Chains A and B, each alone.
Chain A
Amino acid sequence: MKYGVMVIGAGHAGCEAALAAARMGVKTALLAVDRTAIARMSCNPSIGGIAKSHIVHEIDALGGEMAVNTDYTGIQFRTLNTKKGPAVQATRVQCDKAFYPTRMQAVVDQTPNLDVIETLATDIWVENGKLRGVRDSNGETLAAETVVITAGTFLRGKIHIGDESFEGGRIGEKAAYDLSTSLESLGFRLRRLKTGTPPRIHRDSIDYECMELQPGLDPPPMFSWRAKRELFHVEQSGDDLFHVEQSDIRPWRPGSDQIPCYLTHTTPETHAIIEANLTRSAMYGGQIDATGVRYCPSIEDKIVRFRDKSSHHIFIEPEGRINDLVYPNGISNSFPKEVQDEFVRTIPGLSRAELVNYAYAIEYDFSDPTQLDHSLESKLVENLYFAGQVNGTTGYEEAAGQGLIAGINAAIKVIRGTPLILSRHESYIGVLVDDLVIKGTDEPYRMFTSRAEHRLMLRQDNARYRMRDHAARIGIVDPDMVSETGRYAEQVESEIERLNRVRRGDRTLAQILRRPDMSYGELDGRDETLPQEVARQVEITLKYDGYIQRDLERIEKARGMEEKAIPEWVDYNAIKSLRTESRQKLNEIQPRTIGQAARISGINPSDIAILSVVIKRGRA
Chain B
Amino acid sequence: MNMINDDTIAAIATPPGEGGIAIIRLSGPQALSIADRVFECAGLPPSKRAGNSFVHGWIFDDTTGEAGPEVIDEVILLVYRAPHSYTRDDVIEIQGHGGAVCARRILRRLIDAGARSADPGEFTRRAFLNGRLDLLQAEAVLDLIRARSDRAATMASDQLNGSLSSLFNDIYDNLVSSAADLESSLDFSEDELPGHVIPEIQDRVRTAAEDLARLRATWDEGQILREGALVVITGQPNVGKSTLLNRLLTSQRAIVSGTPGTTRDTIEEGFILNGLAVRLVDTAGLRETDCEVEREGIARAGSYINRADVQIYVMDASIGIGTEDRTNLERLDGDHSIIVLNKIDLGQAVEADEVRAYGTPIECCLINGVAPDGIKDALSTIIESGIPQMQQAAISERHRSLIVNTITSVDEGLSRLGENEESGVLLAANALRDAIEHLGLVTGRVYHDELLESVFSRFCVGK
Residue pair A295, B459 in contact (C-beta under 8 Å): yes
B419-463 interface (Cβ within 8 A of A): 419, 421-423, 425-427, 429-430, 433, 444, 446, 448-449, 451-452, 455-457, 459-463
Residue pair A330, B3 in contact (C-beta under 8 Å): no
* A614→B4 CA distance, assembly (Å): 7
Tell me the smallest distance from the CB of A350 to a CB of chain B, in Å. 16
Partner of A450 from B183, B189, B190, B425 at Cβ < 8 Å: B183
* A315→B455 CA distance, assembly (Å): 23
Interface residue stretch chosen among A130-138, A464-472, A604-612: A604-612
Number of A-B residue pairs, CB cutoff 8 Å, is 126
Residue pair A309, B460 in contact (C-beta under 8 Å): yes
For residue A449, which residues in chain B have a CB less than 8 angstroms away from its CB?
Answer: 183, 186-187
For residue B444, which residues in chain A have a CB less than 8 angstroms away from its CB?
Answer: 604-606
For residue B69, which residues in chain A have a CB less than 8 angstroms away from its CB?
Answer: none
- A408 on the B face (CB < 8 A): no
For residue A450, which residues in chain B have a CB less than 8 angstroms away from its CB?
Answer: 183, 186-187, 429, 451-452, 455
* A575→B129 CA distance, assembly (Å): 12
A233-289 interface (Cβ within 8 A of B): 263
The verdict on A577 contacting B5 (CB below 8 Å), with A50-B186, A450-B186, A450-B455 known, is yes
- A166 on the B face (CB < 8 A): no
Chain B 1-45 interface mask (CB, 8 Å, partner A; 1/0): 111110000000000000000000000000000000000000000
For residue A49, which residues in chain B have a CB less than 8 angstroms away from its CB?
Answer: 189, 463
- A416 on the B face (CB < 8 A): no
Residue pair B446, A605 in contact (C-beta under 8 Å): yes
Partner of A312 from B2, B183, B423, B460 at Cβ < 8 Å: B460
Q: Considering only CB atoms, which chain B residue lies closest to A330 in the complex? A: B462
Tell me the smallest distance from the CB of A539 to a CB of chain B, in Å. 13
For residue B1, which residues in chain A have a CB less than 8 angstroms away from its CB?
Answer: 576
Q: Counting chain B CB atoms within 10 Å of each CB, which of A84, A448, A453 scores highest?
A: A84
Residue pair A579, B131 in contact (C-beta under 8 Å): yes
For residue A309, which residues in chain B have a CB less than 8 angstroms away from its CB?
Answer: 460
Q: Considering only CB atoms, which chain B residue lies closest to A78 in the complex? A: B189
Residue pair B459, A574 in contact (C-beta under 8 Å): no
Residue pair A80, B189 in contact (C-beta under 8 Å): yes
* A49→B3 CA distance, assembly (Å): 50
Residue pair A87, B452 in contact (C-beta under 8 Å): no
Residue pair B463, A84 in contact (C-beta under 8 Å): no
* A467→B443 CA distance, assembly (Å): 37
The verdict on A577 contacting B459 (CB below 8 Å), with A84-B186, A606-B128, A606-B129 known, is no
For residue B131, which residues in chain A have a CB less than 8 angstroms away from its CB?
Answer: 577, 579, 606
- B191 on the A face (CB < 8 A): yes
B128-173 interface (Cβ within 8 A of A): 128-131, 135
Chain A 39-77 interface mask (CB, 8 Å, partner B; 1/0): 000011010011100000000000000000000000000
A591-620 interface (Cβ within 8 A of B): 598-599, 601, 604-606, 609-610, 613-614, 620
Q: Counting chain A CB atoms within 10 Å of each CB, which of B2, B128, B185, B462 scores highest?
A: B462
For residue B419, which residues in chain A have a CB less than 8 angstroms away from its CB?
Answer: 516
- B192 on the A face (CB < 8 A): yes
* A84→B182 CA distance, assembly (Å): 11
Is the interface on chain A under 10, 10 to 19, 20 to 34, or 35 or more residues?
35 or more
- A159 on the B face (CB < 8 A): no
* A599→B88 CA distance, assembly (Å): 26
For residue B5, which residues in chain A have a CB less than 8 angstroms away from its CB?
Answer: 577
- A455 on the B face (CB < 8 A): yes
- A81 on the B face (CB < 8 A): yes
Residue pair B463, A44 in contact (C-beta under 8 Å): yes
* A607→B423 CA distance, assembly (Å): 38
Q: Considering only CB atoms, which chain B residue lies closest to A81 in the complex? A: B189
Residue pair B460, A306 in contact (C-beta under 8 Å): yes
For residue B459, which residues in chain A have a CB less than 8 angstroms away from its CB?
Answer: 295
* A43→B455 CA distance, assembly (Å): 25
* A424→B183 CA distance, assembly (Å): 18
Partner of B2 from A87, A214, A577 at Cβ < 8 Å: A577
Residue pair A577, B189 in contact (C-beta under 8 Å): no
Number of B residues whose C-beta is below 8 Å from A?
A: 44
Chain A 327-362 interface mask (CB, 8 Å, partner B; 1/0): 001100000000000000000000000000000000
Residue pair A448, B455 in contact (C-beta under 8 Å): yes
- A547 on the B face (CB < 8 A): yes
Residue pair B4, A576 in contact (C-beta under 8 Å): yes
Chain A 16-55 interface mask (CB, 8 Å, partner B; 1/0): 0000000000000000000000000001101001110000
Tell me the smallest distance from the CB of A253 to a CB of chain B, in Å. 26
For residue A601, which residues in chain B have a CB less than 8 angstroms away from its CB?
Answer: 449
The verdict on A329 contacting B422 (CB below 8 Å), with A576-B2, A577-B3, A577-B129 known, is no
* A507→B263 CA distance, assembly (Å): 57
* A577→B27 CA distance, assembly (Å): 14
* A516→B130 CA distance, assembly (Å): 50
Partner of A451 from B130, B135, B189, B452 at Cβ < 8 Å: B452
* A456→B433 CA distance, assembly (Å): 13
- A302 on the B face (CB < 8 A): yes
The verdict on A84 contacting B461 (CB below 8 Å), with A50-B186, A601-B449, A604-B444 known, is no
For residue B187, which residues in chain A have a CB less than 8 angstroms away from its CB?
Answer: 50-51, 88, 448-450
* A294→B191 CA distance, assembly (Å): 19
Q: Considering only CB atoms, which chain A residue lies closest to B440 in the complex? A: A605
Residue pair A456, B430 in contact (C-beta under 8 Å): yes
* A575→B3 CA distance, assembly (Å): 6
- A531 on the B face (CB < 8 A): no
Residue pair A84, B426 in contact (C-beta under 8 Å): yes
Q: Considering only CB atoms, which chain A residue lies closest to B463 in the complex? A: A296
* A439→B427 CA distance, assembly (Å): 27
- A297 on the B face (CB < 8 A): yes
Partner of A83 from B129, B130, B422, B430 at Cβ < 8 Å: B422
Residue pair A547, B430 in contact (C-beta under 8 Å): yes
* A471→B88 CA distance, assembly (Å): 53
- A305 on the B face (CB < 8 A): yes
Residue pair A547, B455 in contact (C-beta under 8 Å): no
Tell me the smallest distance from the CB of B141 to a CB of chain A, in Å. 15
* A263→B192 CA distance, assembly (Å): 11
The verdict on A87 contacting B426 (CB below 8 Å), with A315-B462, A329-B462 known, is yes
* A610→B6 CA distance, assembly (Å): 13
Partner of A610 from B129, B185, B429, B461 at Cβ < 8 Å: B129
For residue B446, which residues in chain A have a CB less than 8 angstroms away from its CB?
Answer: 598, 604-605
Tell me the smallest distance from the CB of A202 to a CB of chain B, in Å. 21
For residue B3, which residues in chain A have a CB less than 8 angstroms away from its CB?
Answer: 574-577, 620
- A560 on the B face (CB < 8 A): no
* A289→B319 CA distance, assembly (Å): 94
Q: Considering only CB atoms, which chain A residue lies closest to B423 in the complex? A: A85
* A83→B184 CA distance, assembly (Å): 15
A77-116 interface (Cβ within 8 A of B): 80-81, 83-85, 87-88, 90
Partner of A81 from B190, B427, B429, B455 at Cβ < 8 Å: B190
A295-334 interface (Cβ within 8 A of B): 295-297, 301-302, 305-306, 309, 312-315, 329-330
Tell me the smallest distance from the CB of A300 to a CB of chain B, in Å. 12
Tell me the smallest distance from the CB of A53 to a CB of chain B, in Å. 11
A-B contact pairs, 16 of them (CB 8 A): A43-B463, A44-B463, A49-B189, A85-B422, A85-B427, A87-B426, A88-B186, A263-B191, A305-B460, A448-B187, A576-B4, A577-B3, A577-B4, A577-B130, A605-B135, A610-B4
| Across the A-B interface, the 3 shortest Cβ-Cβ residue pairs | A85-B423, A330-B462, A83-B422
Q: A329-B463, A577-B3, A609-B128 are in contact. List 13 more A-B contacts (CB 8 A).
A: A49-B463, A50-B188, A50-B189, A296-B462, A301-B460, A313-B462, A315-B191, A315-B462, A449-B186, A456-B430, A577-B2, A605-B446, A606-B131
A interface residues (Cβ-Cβ under 8 A, vs B): 43-44, 46, 49-51, 80-81, 83-85, 87-88, 90, 214, 263, 294-297, 301-302, 305-306, 309, 312-315, 329-330, 395, 439, 448-451, 453, 455-456, 516, 547, 574-577, 579, 598-599, 601, 604-606, 609-610, 613-614, 620
B interface residues (Cβ-Cβ under 8 A, vs A): 1-5, 88, 128-131, 135, 183, 185-192, 419, 421-423, 425-427, 429-430, 433, 444, 446, 448-449, 451-452, 455-457, 459-463
